[in-house]
Homo-oligomer: A and B are copies of this chain.
């Protein structure tokens, strides 16, 4: 991780009036080092020295602020990824495809894929969408 990257995270915390602390920067570093979402259990393993409760609180506040978004995988496990759409406090719009590999269980945020339009039955008013797909990912297809 570069200086610049680290500064970017510090700036991000500043923006949201959050104190720049070790645990928070580490969460951002861990998550941004991967091209897939990170599961809560994995994250807990990576944050060895940090208390479990602290991690939960960091994840909650990051989600509230629109820094990260939560995705439940096929097993119902919480996964987290940094938001690329410019989400706001209490107003996410991560309306991209989430691909869950049935082999390695990784969750991919396919941000570039635009969701096709569709209509809801009368009476329903939609605010947010997510398209989930499951199958095998490029890595697992190679082998």
Query: CB within 8 Å of B: which residues of A?
Result: 72, 76, 78, 97, 99, 102, 108, 110, 112-113, 115-138, 141
| Of the residues B115, B126, B128, B136, contact of A118 by C-beta under 8 Å | B115
Given A99-B126, A102-B127, A120-B141 contact (CB < 8 Å): no
Given contacts A126-B134, A127-B134, 20 further A-B pairs with CB under 8 A are A72-B76, A76-B76, A99-B124, A99-B126, A113-B119, A113-B120, A115-B118, A116-B117, A116-B118, A120-B133, A123-B138, A123-B141, A124-B141, A125-B136, A125-B141, A126-B135, A127-B136, A129-B133, A130-B131, A131-B131
15 sampled A-B residue pairs with Cβ under 8 A = A99-B120, A102-B127, A108-B124, A112-B121, A115-B118, A116-B117, A122-B138, A124-B137, A126-B133, A126-B134, A128-B133, A129-B131, A129-B132, A129-B133, A130-B131
